[in-house]
């Protein structure tokens, strides 16, 4: 298997060194950036994960994340001293995939890194090569989604989804008309125990997914909200071309 590459972005050289030592010991290739501008310069298609500090002078981690999302769906793990749920939601809205508050344990860091990399490689097909089989394509109302890799087409145009957005869409499309509560979605997609504060995390990703696949995100035709119950993929409707 190819060595996976992690880009560490933090203005604190001691933190970068500590992360490099820890993750190098797990056999990852490590790239480092001391600020946001350097991070954007070092980001290439070979990077499999970005560990990004939020509080940096100059270009903040949130702005770096937004710029990354304009050209890549690489998973982003925010690393920050802020631990409030509102701060977490801001990071997710900017395009982050996960959030780790300082101080953190070695086991927690490695666990989150491995989970993000595993999902990214599986759902974007980075660990495999070859053409998609038509048998593994699910189609409904103008949306086509690969059930093997993170590839989605809306009205004939391929759209770039993060791995979390892809997993939510795949879950709902494979079970059309079924209502999924936020707890159902969180535990199925994140694979972690659900807590009430997880509601906001799910809502942020649903909102971002609607922006990418709906013609009018404020009046969604696909990802319907069932008030007080959850969300469903609406299968009844005219095929959109």
Confidence bin at 169 (pLDDT 50/70/90): very high
Q: Which residues contact 135 (CB under 8 A, 6 or more apart)?
A: none
Which CATH number fits the domain that encloses residue 40? 3.40.50.2300
pTM above 0.85, yes or no: no
Look at residues 85, 100, 124 and tell me which one is the last residue of a structural domain.
124
Find the helix or strand (DSSP H, E) in which 154 lies.
strand 152-154
| pLDDT tens, residue by residue, 185-206 | 998 888 888 888 788 889 999 9
> End of a domain among 124, 150, 166?
124
Domain count, the chain: 2
Last residue of one domain, picked from the residues 71, 93, 124: 124
Residue 129 lies in a domain: no
Run of H or E including 98: strand 98-101
With contact defined as beta carbons under 8 Å apart, do 93 and 85 qualify?
Answer: no
Domain that holds residue 186: 134-233
Banded model confidence at residue 120, pLDDT cuts 50, 70, 90:
confident
Residue 239 belongs to a domain: no
Q: Are residue 113 and residue 146 in the same domain, yes or no?
A: no
Indicate whether 148 and 84 sit together in one domain: no
Is the pLDDT at 106 greater than 90, yes or no? no
pLDDT score of 197: 79
Whether 149 is in a domain gets the answer yes
Residues 110 and 153 in one domain: no
């Amino acid at each position: 298997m190819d060595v996976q590459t992690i880009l560490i972005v933090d203005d604190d050289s001691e933190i970068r060194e500590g992360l490099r030592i820890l993750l190098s010991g797990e056999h990852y290739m490590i790239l480092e950036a001391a600020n946001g501008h350097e991070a954007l310069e070092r980001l290439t298609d070979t990077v499999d994960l970005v560990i990004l500090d939020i509080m940096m002078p100059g270009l903040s981690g949130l702005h770096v994340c937004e710029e990354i999302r304009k050209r890549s769906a690489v998973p982003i793990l925010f690393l920050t001293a802020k631990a409030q749920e509102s701060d977490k939601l801001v990071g997710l809205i900017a395009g982050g995939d996960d959030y780790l508050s300082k101080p953190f344990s070695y086991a927690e860091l490695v666990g989150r890194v491995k989970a993000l990399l595993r999902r990214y490689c599986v759902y974007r097909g980075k660990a495999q090569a070859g053409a998609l089989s038509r048998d593994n394509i699910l189609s409904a109302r103008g949306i086509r989604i690969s059930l093997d890799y993170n590839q989605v087409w809306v009205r004939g145009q391929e759209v770039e989804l993060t791995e979390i957005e892809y997993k939510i869409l795949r879950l709902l499309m494979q079970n059309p008309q079924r209502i999924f509560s936020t707890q159902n979605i969180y535990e199925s997609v994140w694979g972690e125990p659900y807590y009430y504060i997880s509601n906001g995390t799910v809502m942020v990703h649903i909102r971002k997914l609607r922006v990418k696949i709906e013609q009018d995100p404020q009046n969604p035709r696909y990802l319907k909200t069932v008030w007080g119950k959850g969300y469903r993929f609406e299968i009844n409707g005219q095929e959109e071309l």
